[in-house]
């Protein structure tokens, strides 16, 4: 079972830079891949990172994939959480998804599909 989040992000001024921030929470480990269309923007093990998607005029109508695999390593909880924050558009956007895993060491796929409109 995976966690998927579909986001429609309304862009603002064409000359505003649009940013995506990702946080892998609950003190778990994770790795993320961010693409705008097919273009690779980021591959990282950082639990918290920000990536620039581009100017509003450049990203309008495009689709951004953010794929994160999380492994439960925190002995204090089997909860997992991923937060996506978008800045630079019409308004700021924040969404956190959570899932509690069955056992220590289990993993889960979080994916966000962001439509920039």
Partner 1 sequence: MTPRLAYLALLVAAPLALALPPTASQAQTPPPVDFDLMQAPPSPAYVLLGIEPASVERPGDPTDLGVSIMNATDKLSVLPQNYAVGFAPFWLFGGGRKVTFDQWRRNGSLITNLLQTADLSAAAASVELGGGQSDLTSLGVGLRFSLWRGHVPDDEAEPLAELEKELLTAARSADERLRALAAADTLLIALEAAMRQVARVAPDSIPMDLIDAIALRNQQLADQAEQSTLPGRYARLKQLAAAVDLTRVGFKLDVAGGITGDFPGREFQAGRIGRGGAWITAGHESRRWSTLVVARWLATNVQGGDNATSYDAGGRLIYDGTGRLDLSAEFLGRWYVGDAALEDTWRASVMADVDVGFNKTLSFSFGRDFEGGLSGNLVAAVQFILGFGSSRAGGVAGS
Q: Which residues contact 39 (CB under 8 A, 6 or more apart)?
A: none
Q: How many residues bind partner 1 (CB under 8 A)?
A: 56
Q: Does 109 bind partner 1 (CB under 8 A)?
A: yes
Tell me which DSSP letter residue 79 carries. E
**Closer residue to partner 1 in complex, CB, 28/88:** 28
Distances (CA, A) of 60 to 11, 17, 44, 55, 90: 7, 12, 25, 9, 12
Contact set for partner 1, span 31-90 (CB under 8 A)? 31-33, 35, 38, 43-45, 47-48, 61, 63, 65, 67-69, 71-79, 81, 83
Q: Which of 20, 23, 59, 64 binds partner 1 (CB under 8 A)?
A: 23
């Amino acid at each position: 079972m995976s966690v998927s989040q579909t986001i429609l992000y309304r862009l603002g001024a064409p000359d505003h830079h649009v940013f995506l921030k990702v946080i892998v929470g609950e003190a778990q480990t994770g790795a993320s891949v961010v693409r705008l269309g097919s273009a690779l923007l980021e591959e990282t093990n950082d639990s918290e990172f920000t990536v620039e998607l581009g100017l509003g005029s450049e990203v309008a109508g495009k689709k951004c994939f953010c794929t994160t695999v999380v492994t439960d390593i925190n002995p204090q909880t089997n909860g997992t959480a991923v937060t996506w924050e978008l800045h630079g558009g019409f308004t700021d956007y924040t969404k956190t998804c959570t899932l509690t895993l069955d056992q220590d060491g289990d993993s889960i796929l979080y994916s966000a599909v962001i439509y920039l409109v």
